[in-house]
Structure 1
Amino acid sequence: MFLNCHTYYSLRYGSIAIEELLELARSFNISTLSLTDINSTSACLEFLRTASKYGVKPVVGVDFRNGANQEFVLIAKNNTGFENINAYLSEFLHQDTYQIPQRSKLMQDVYVVYPFQKNIDFELLPNEFIGISYQELAKLPFSKWKNKLDKLVVLHTVSFQNKKGFNTHRLLRAIDNNELLSRLHESEQGELWHQFVSEETIEKYFEHYPDIISNTKDLMSSCNVVFDFSGEVPNNQKSYTANEALDYKLLEKLSYRGLEYRYPKADEKVYVRIKKELEIIKEKGFVSYFLINWKILKYARSKGYFYVGRGSGANSIIAYLLRITDVDPIELDLYFERFINLYRKNPPDFDIDFSWQDRDDITNFIFKRFPNTALITVYNTFKYRAAIRELGKVFGLPKSEIDVLSSGSYNYQTLDKLSQLVVIYSKFIQGFPNYLGIHAGGILISEKPIHHYCGTFLPPKGFATTQIDMVIAEDIGLYKFDILSQRGLGKIKDAVGIVAKNHADLPPIDIHNIAKFKEDLRIKYLLKNAKAIGCFYVESPAMRMLLKKLQVDNYLGLVAASSVIRPGVAQSGMMREYILRFRYPERRKDAHPVLLDIMPETYGVMVYQEDVIKVAHYFGGLTLGEADMLRRGMSGKFRSRDEFLKVKEQFFSNCRNTGKDLNFTQEVWRQIESFAGYAFAKGHSASYAVESYQSLYLKAYFPLEYMVATINNSGGFYSVELYIHEARLHGGNILAPCVNHSEYIAVIKGKDIYLGFMFLQSFETKTAIKIINERVNNGRFLSLDDFIERVPISIEQITILIKIDAFRDFGKHKRELLWEAHMKINKVTFDEFNISLFQVERAAYEIPKLTSTQLENAFDEIELLGFPLSNPFNLLVDKNLSTFRMKNLVNYIGKIIVIEGYLVTVKKTKTSKGKQMFFGTFLDVDGDFIDSVHFPPVAQKYPFRGKGIYRITGKVMEEFDCITVETTMMERLAIVEDPRYADSRKAQRPKPKKRVS
């Protein structure tokens, strides 16, 4: 009876969650329900998966609308019909702008229901009907359909659950239309009665039209869309070669061929592992998954693209042999069952990182090579603060009031009625899907057409994207390929290129020679002393301190650190325990004997995802399948699902039955729960460590070239300014952009590093390209007149170049050049101009001798680059600095000191009681890092006030060789007045009047 039900996946329209819709249906004793979201099939698979739990037969389709205007509802008779609806919907969603027609095209196994109020002037086909609501029955006797009752069905729309749901719907429609609620037109919203009523109520309304009731029931009873949600059979592309037997032969051949490259002297252990993996890969049906990844990466290598393969698949020797990963599972003793076991339903995870410059081409290759391909969507939901802002605008609140509500600094009881409504409804819509985005790297390659499962839309990148997310895709056996973008790889690739150009006398760098890097003494020094700024995954303040605490100077130590740093391990207290057991061997005996036996390498502390599986299996008595479900459940995907809760109960039951202490069992569970969703698989950590070693090698031997590559790839953990500082520490001479030396990106010539035009704020790319092309084609610029003759440029753009001193080769001061430019360049310029055959000499103007100071230059640099190229401490009003420096604080442990630091970065976090605190990172006047801690009372009293130099008062603390300042007081120091505007301000000040005697 309910052919037209919406969830909140009818974006910015519906207000009901999927399970809430089903619960409402059960409460009204509704046995069959049709979900037809507006221009979306996002909710259909989840609806089909969960409906039986509520005793509801699910029917699915789509409500096709132009805005809020309903054109028709399509309902799938079976899976073929559902696929046809998805394909038809996608035809519209792949257009920039689209108009749903008044009549649906003819499709197999699809019912079409046109709303009664539409003026239908065509003959209905057998699969087409007119839908009428009980509110419209009074009009039926006067319509042309009064004698065609066989073509009528009940069309009762359900979009919200109650009056609050209706009010929410109106707010969502106002947000969607960017309109004040008071001005929202009725045509843009639904009706209050678009709620559930009982089937008995519907039948009562239609008691004089029993044919309409029976037509509706017949239509719904004939619909049956079925999917297998067991996950037993993968629905990814089944065969790489179109023959599964040939697939296996190819995988076997490639694996053994890879021995020559990976294991020239392979022993029996290697052969046993290969045989074991191949058998299980074949049995689980994952052969094509490996071959598709192999093909993608074979293409990448043919194009010279750098990549890193990581994820749980990095535990696989087959992946290592196929060059999907660069991690040796034999060397690292990687736990085979984390990668794959007979109980595991989903294939292993391969996360393939590419440079951000290369990823689009890889994606394009995948779409061309494999027919049924789509990117995966993510549901971008309403966040509380964003909802506050959206609803504040809808209610017409002034920006100042919205800012107060958004900050959370208010007393709810003292708010006016409108502000209270904003808060109430913001909390209500928090978590509602707002719009569909694109997963960071997930791609589906399926056996059947993607439209068999859902509709697709076309984002700006131009690749078809699903309307379902990765969790729902996995439910039906579609497992994603992860093709990710990472700037770290761009840095490595660019640095290798810069080194090859600047050091042509040296042999080419083999950046993949990780075995050599692992033994390199310079790299060991950088790691142990945490001098890894710019290096992938080891440069953050937290990682820098952890490396010192663990005294890491080898590959395995770095692998462990890469996982120990993850949030769950750190927050659960296990990171501290791991450090203690590492540094003090006698403490290892405190570990529970069972846990120490399971995890001897990590002293009985869970560090890797494998440890969760091992502990769940050996300590908790779970099967490997249950243990893997536990691991996946902890990641948040299935936390609320019954199967996860059953596994948890089984864990405690098994521990109780084997006589384990309840308190200890609860502690082990707490440790599992605290970090299982965050910790890395060991192979994943090992893959990260490989990339870290590549960047560490470049930093150790070619620091300037590596820093230039880092700067050009928009930095890393920190801003570009810090990497410029790092280059200077390594002897680099940092120079502002120059018209005769600079490129679009930064370039290095000897030890001179010229910043590129890309770093200049408000400087146009097209102008930069013209300058570079002209210089390449016709030689250096000789004077300002020569530059103006050869490059079409506006006065605004040339002013930027002059202020950054890009014409310094010409021997004139900036102020003189500015005078000249304003007299010689018209306000209006054209993109192209013709160079005359005869050079016309420009008029020479008598310009007064002008100078500029280093202080003025610094402020120009701050304006145009975002930071000064000189020492920022030179800009302080009070240059009397404390005598304390970071390098000698080790002599003042436990003492109160005062030290000045230039702010680098701030990490905000919360205490266990939910109060806000901070960790600060500064540079002292010598350029060394200061690490500070700001507990809640101090954080509130002495807040960070943006970029600048701060005077920090605090106690020097030491833990595991790491020095921090526990802040008790902090102030940002004043800098000198900008001299460029000081004169004009003085001129504007009123002169004191002369006294009249």
Structure 2
Amino acid sequence: MQPRRSIPRARQLRVASTDAEQTLWRRLRNRQLCGYKFRRQVPITAYIVDFLCLDPPLIVELDGGQHLEHALQDDQRAHFLEANGYRVIRFWNDVVLTRMDEVLAEILRQLELHPHPNPLPPAGEGEMAQTTHRIAYAELHCLSNFSFLRGASSALELFERAARLGYRALAITDECSLAGIVRALEASRQTGVALIVGCEVRGEDGLRVVLLVENQIGYQNLCALITRARRRAIKGRYRLQREDLLVNGGLLCLWLADAEPSPVDAHWLREHFEGRLWLAVELHRGARDAKRLAQQLAFCAEHAIPAVASGDVHMHARSRRCLQDTLTAIRHRTRIHEAGALLFPNGERHLRNLDALAAIHPRALLDETLRIAGRCRFKLDSLSYRYPQELVPEGETPISHLRALTHAGASLRWREGVPDSARAQIEHELHLIEKLNYEAFFLTVHDIVRFARSRDILCQGRGSSANSIVCYCLHVTEVDPRRVSMLFERFISAERDEPPDIDVDFEHERREEVIQYIYAKYGRERAALAATVIAYRNRSALRDVGKALGLDADQIEELSRCLGPYEDNAVLGERLRERGFDPDAAVIRQLIALVRQLIGMPRHLSQHVGGFVISGEPLASLVPIENAAMPERSIIQWDKDDLETMRLLKVDCLALGMLTCIRKCLHLLRDSGRRDLTLADIAATDRADDASARQTYDMICRADTIGVFQIESRAQMAMLPRLKPRCYYDLVIQVAIVRPGPIQGDMVHPYLLRRKNPDAVVYPSAELEPVLKRTLGVPLFQEQVMQLAITAAGFSPGEADELRRGMAAWKRRGGIEYFHERFVSGMLRKNYPLEFAEALFNQLRGFGSYGFPESHAASFALITWFSCWLKCHEPAAFACALLNSQPLGFYAPSQIIQDARRHGITVHPVDVRSSTWDSLLEPCAHDAQPAIRLGFREIRGMPQAAADAIVQARTQAAFRDVEDLARRAQLDRHALARLAEADALRGLSGHRHRASWQVAGVEKQLPLLADAASMEEAVRLRPPSARETMLADYASTGFSLGPHPLALVRAQLKARRCISARELAGSEHSRPVRVAGLVTLRQRPQTAGGVTFVTLEDESGLFNVVVWQAIAERQRRILLEARLLGVHGRLECVDGVQHVIAERLLDHSALLDELDTRSRDFR
């Protein structure tokens, strides 16, 4: 058929379209599919295609007899169309009618695939498709998703599409930010598209420009400009003044003028950016594009300013338009349907194919982009970095000073004489540290630790730095290298040539002292915290998208319950129906699609938990600095991964609550006169002939570990009776074995079996025995992966660390095959069987992505030992310190107090006559252990200032009554009410009801009446009942020292045939049981295959419930919402560990009335 005859035929086909065509057209017309424009029944030479998208070129065909040619000609037809630049996909009619969502998803997927090499220009309906020659182009104005809530695509998505489209270069110009520029650098390396560094800024006077970096000076000036603008404003904002643009050497300027450019701005910009100024012409198929272009070109000619094409790109592809609209609504805190002019009028702000750009821009404007790109010669990876040198005494070098400190520390560590092996290792490490120029870094870390210890702040290094004997000698780490097998290359490797990572834990309540010391020593110009990128997760994405779509708060809350942790998409529809939503409703489909696109996208920058970057020069010459949310803190705009890519050194000053707890415990013991202990004293007890150590390990093997460090979770407690730790290295293994790595690698059960009969362990070869012997032939640690590669496959230490890193990332990035071939071939050269080599590599790969460092476990095991010893031998002081260090760990104060009382510790309630803010130890006449007096901190909503005022007033004289307390401590109604509700006034009032009455009558006294006594007579009120007391206790403190809530409903539970935790402990394996308890903890580890673990508490103890995925999905609402959970199931007892395997869940919360209990879920 001739082309001219095809047009009438196409019109006939539109009229006679099938049901499937009409149904699909209703979903494609008017750019409904993410902004893509489709036409139907379009003639292309002799052919008529069903649906055509021109940008990118895609043809959608439906099979059903509507084609002009016979079915046998389909291949010839498709070949012709693809040869002319089109991609063709085909669907059956019945698929369109019955599975529309899948059809639309596939069309979207195809639109995102690589375009063909000859993308077509836009054409009017009925016009013949043509191809044009390619042009060259560089995009100079592009926002990534690090222009938070503006850019809708990642740098990698942008660069991949730019590469497919043939762009020569891509400028990432996020708004007043370089937060995403390192990711852009990595994307540039992957795709080969040149990166231009820049940013878009808007001045307070409305002037908008894009600044592009031409050279090193320009980069430094851009960082300084962003820093000035950001430091001038609160976190997340910036204030740019026109004067900030005056220091602009090495920067090229693209003026983003208004529709009618200002001659005044033109004169100012031309004066200050002479030879470096262009007017950006940005055309997006608007109705006035032609007029706008003519006006801008005329203005440029009049004012002698060159023009250049740019795209104002906000997304890599048109399919992101819906998401970009949603981000705009979120940013402006409005609904999409009310956003109006805030939204872009179309989806043209994406990376368009070159012919589409040529159709709307004069060729000269496109060519100008290449000239500008050619001037931007700055390479981000050329930045240099120097560490501060001021810690080096005059007359010494950094390495000589570090060597002196190391040898002095070694003499303290080995008072009987430093072993030759230790001396050799010290010299090996110092040589490598000097070679890589890290001496000043080690001196800085030593200085920070020295400061902390001088202030009696507990601290300890952990992570890979525990592999370093230099760190041990500097007292940065505390792991004796004689107790573990060190591998220094896990920490520093000349072959890897990447900066070392030193993590130091400090007491969480005193870490701020350390942070402010660093700021004071180096200044906020040379020291700043690294950033953390806060990305959207399920609930945050759903909340923001839901608001943008106009859902109310109750609907969003209900929907959020459908998107729990580790959501299984297969059951999402069922969850939605359970909550009363129609999963097929358009708004729900749109919501879920947008949420899934948004998850993982950055939302804003926050501060890293403690990663400090310190520089010899002002940091703002390397990376912009902005204010943190916390006062007196500033952060750089790069996160820890960016720092690693850019080879900037970072020291992590982290907060660890258990160190706070241990220090407070030691102080409680000293201040109460029980004993004066140090951590060295406790560490010295860990030997086979020490009775206190045997008692401590007995406690550990019983899984009596609530509140201790690392081995307090229910999974760890279930493992303890099976592993039965009896020495320090057993604790190292215990800390590491309940982790995803060993579980994924199926190494837990083999290891436990070998512990039962270690003499039967057979090693693969004599050379591998030293590597595997400490873990009975089962590799559990990352260091063992490296040692196996070195010993069995001939890797160098640096290559072995690359293997470890590759395995850690292979699930996300791939690229493991190189190591696989290298590993197997290396083992074959050493005469290992192929089957063994393959099996070993697969086993290592299974756990490599989650493998735990031995050095990390060894550091943690020390703190585990300290906390276990204190819990075993000073349980009252340890429990008291735990309460004073909250929030901390898995257990709330309620469980800590219940555990202490089960161990025979007397716990006294909060009392204004004797309590302080923290809990205290009090003598207990009839017990070897002191009693715990709870502190005011346990009362919800109680201000610490009010508590301190009570203590201060009490030092002068005892309180006579409530009015005397209120007058002398100057307490307001709020504080008095909190005290009355918590029954902290019982010593002055008698009971809760009377206290509340008296508080209601108290007037805050004026100074003139300060000594006046109240004349109000006591009112006779009945004391509260046991149930009222329990409810009020939980409402005010979250726990009760009276009867446990379940003791009050035990009769009702017995009527339901529920047994207690005590009765459960005496039951046999496989027995059907019914239990009920308060939910204290819910967990669903990623490695558990959808299984949920629940910890329940009753008046006699705790017990564990295992809920398989099928039951969890079927009874999800009860599982997640019940406060008093009933379980019908079967008791499982293995190696002394009990679990109830749930078969049915019941919500008995109604028995608790309004009891306020709170669980700690999915920690």
- After TM superposition, the score normalised by the length of structure 2 is 0.77
Aligned to 1:152: 307
* 69 and 892 in structure 1: CA distance in 2 versus 1, 3 angstrom threshold: farther
Cα distance between partner residues in 1 of 2:700 and 2:377: 61
Aligned to 1:844: 1016
What is the Cα deviation at residue 91 of structure 1? 1.3
Deviates more, 1:191-200 or 1:285-294: 191-200
Cα distance between partner residues in 1 of 2:730 and 2:281: 70
What is the Cα deviation at residue 492 of structure 1? 0.6
Other structure's SS at 1:465 match? strand
* 549 and 611 in structure 1: CA distance in 2 versus 1, 3 angstrom threshold: same
Aligned to 2:318: 163
Partner residue of 2:252 out of 98, 103, 111: 111
Other structure's SS at 1:635 match? helix
CA deviation string 1:444-483 (max 9, x = no partner): 2234543344322211223221222212211121132111
What is the Cα deviation at residue 608 of structure 1? 1.3
Confirm or deny that 1:475 pairs with 2:645: yes
What is the Cα deviation at residue 849 of structure 1? 4.8
Aligned to 2:732: 559
Structure of higher RCO (CA pairs closer than 8 Å, 6+ residues apart) = 1
Instruction: Point out where structure 2 has 5 or more consecutive residues left out of the alignment.
Output: 1-137, 284-288, 564-571, 577-581, 924-929, 1157-1163
What is the Cα deviation at residue 703 of structure 1? 1.2
Cα distance between partner residues in 2 of 1:796 and 1:137: 64
Cα distance between partner residues in 2 of 1:443 and 1:607: 31
What is the Cα deviation at residue 819 of structure 1? 3.0
RMSD (Å), alpha carbons = 3.3
Partner residue of 1:263 out of 414, 420, 428: 414
* 131 and 632 in structure 1: CA distance in 2 versus 1, 3 angstrom threshold: same
The within-5 A match list for 1:275-354 is 275-354=427-506
What is the Cα deviation at residue 87 of structure 1? 1.4
Other structure's SS at 2:246 match? coil
Confirm or deny that 1:99 pairs with 2:255: no
CA deviation string 1:69-110 (max 9, x = no partner): 771111111122112101111212222154334572332211
Query: Match of 1:491, as an amino acid?
Result: C
* 813 and 205 in structure 1: CA distance in 2 versus 1, 3 angstrom threshold: closer
What is the Cα deviation at residue 682 of structure 1? 1.9
Partner residue of 1:818 out of 981, 996, 1007: 996
Alignment check: 8 A CA contact 2:229 2:241 kept = no
Alignment check: 8 A CA contact 2:810 2:849 kept = no
CA deviation string 1:46-79 (max 9, x = no partner): 3234425434232111111379977111111112
Aligned to 1:683: 855
What is the Cα deviation at residue 309 of structure 1? 1.0
* 660 and 10 in structure 1: CA distance in 2 versus 1, 3 angstrom threshold: farther
Cα distance between partner residues in 2 of 1:637 and 1:740: 61
Cα distance between partner residues in 1 of 2:813 and 2:710: 32
Confirm or deny that 1:458 pairs with 2:627: yes
What is the Cα deviation at residue 908 of structure 1? 2.2
* 323 and 779 in structure 1: CA distance in 2 versus 1, 3 angstrom threshold: same
Alignment check: 8 A CA contact 2:811 2:849 kept = no
* 819 and 603 in structure 1: CA distance in 2 versus 1, 3 angstrom threshold: closer
Aligned to 1:526: 699
Confirm or deny that 1:808 pairs with 2:986: yes
Deviates more, 1:552-561 or 1:115-124: 115-124
Confirm or deny that 1:46 pairs with 2:183: yes
Partner residue of 2:948 out of 769, 774, 788: 769
Query: Match of 1:152, as an amino acid?
Result: A
What is the Cα deviation at residue 285 of structure 1? 2.5
Cα distance between partner residues in 2 of 1:188 and 1:974: 47
Query: Match of 1:726, as an amino acid?
Result: D
Confirm or deny that 1:604 pairs with 2:744: no
Query: Match of 2:1142, as an amino acid?
Result: T
Confirm or deny that 1:226 pairs with 2:379: yes
Other structure's SS at 2:1141 match? strand
Aligned to 2:69: none
Alignment check: 8 A CA contact 2:281 2:307 kept = yes
Aligned to 1:25: 162
Alignment check: 8 A CA contact 2:623 2:638 kept = yes
What is the Cα deviation at residue 648 of structure 1? 4.1
What is the Cα deviation at residue 890 of structure 1? 5.9
* 120 and 86 in structure 1: CA distance in 2 versus 1, 3 angstrom threshold: farther
Cα distance between partner residues in 2 of 1:979 and 1:563: 41
Deviates more, 1:183-192 or 1:324-333: 183-192
Alignment check: 8 A CA contact 2:156 2:187 kept = yes
Aligned to 1:754: 933
Deviates more, 1:346-355 or 1:244-253: 244-253
Query: Match of 2:742, as an amino acid?
Result: V
What is the Cα deviation at residue 933 of structure 1? 2.2
Aligned to 2:522: 370
Aligned to 2:659: 489
Cα distance between partner residues in 2 of 1:384 and 1:665: 41
Partner residue of 1:963 out of 1122, 1138, 1152: 1138
Partner residue of 2:146 out of 9, 26, 29: 9
Query: Match of 2:438, as an amino acid?
Result: F
CA deviation string 1:148-205 (max 9, x = no partner): 3444333432222333222221111111111100121424658633233455665675
* 463 and 155 in structure 1: CA distance in 2 versus 1, 3 angstrom threshold: same
The within-5 A match list for 1:178-257 is 178-187=333-342, 189=344, 192-198=347-353, 207=362, 210=364, 216-228=369-381, 236-237=387-388, 240-241=391-392, 246-257=397-408
Cα distance between partner residues in 2 of 1:591 and 1:440: 43
Alignment check: 8 A CA contact 2:792 2:830 kept = no
Cα distance between partner residues in 2 of 1:281 and 1:398: 59
* 70 and 616 in structure 1: CA distance in 2 versus 1, 3 angstrom threshold: farther
CA deviation string 1:556-614 (max 9, x = no partner): 11011111122211233211211111112365238687754531111221111101112
Aligned to 1:742: 915
Partner residue of 1:918 out of 1062, 1082, 1092: 1092
Query: Match of 1:867, as an amino acid?
Result: F
What is the Cα deviation at residue 144 of structure 1? 4.2
* 888 and 392 in structure 1: CA distance in 2 versus 1, 3 angstrom threshold: closer
Alignment check: 8 A CA contact 1:34 1:58 kept = yes
Instruction: Point out where structure 1 has 5 or more consecutive residues left out of the alignment.
Output: 982-997
Cα distance between partner residues in 2 of 1:190 and 1:82: 34
Other structure's SS at 2:591 match? helix
Aligned to 1:989: none
Other structure's SS at 2:742 match? helix
Other structure's SS at 1:878 match? helix
Partner residue of 2:280 out of 131, 140, 144: 131
CA deviation string 1:481-502 (max 9, x = no partner): 1110011011011111111111
Deviates more, 1:480-489 or 1:279-288: 279-288
Alignment check: 8 A CA contact 1:78 1:223 kept = yes
Aligned to 1:990: none
Aligned to 2:864: 692
* 806 and 202 in structure 1: CA distance in 2 versus 1, 3 angstrom threshold: closer
Cα distance between partner residues in 2 of 1:487 and 1:885: 30
Cα distance between partner residues in 2 of 1:16 and 1:510: 51
Query: Match of 1:468, as an amino acid?
Result: W
* Percent sequence identity over aligned pairs: 22
Confirm or deny that 1:782 pairs with 2:925: no
Aligned to 1:417: 586
Cα distance between partner residues in 1 of 2:1010 and 2:1109: 72
Alignment check: 8 A CA contact 1:855 1:979 kept = no
What is the Cα deviation at residue 837 of structure 1? 6.1
Alignment check: 8 A CA contact 1:956 1:966 kept = yes
Aligned to 2:541: 387
CA deviation string 1:239-278 (max 9, x = no partner): 8539997111111111111133110123322222222222
* 172 and 862 in structure 1: CA distance in 2 versus 1, 3 angstrom threshold: same
Query: Match of 1:768, as an amino acid?
Result: A
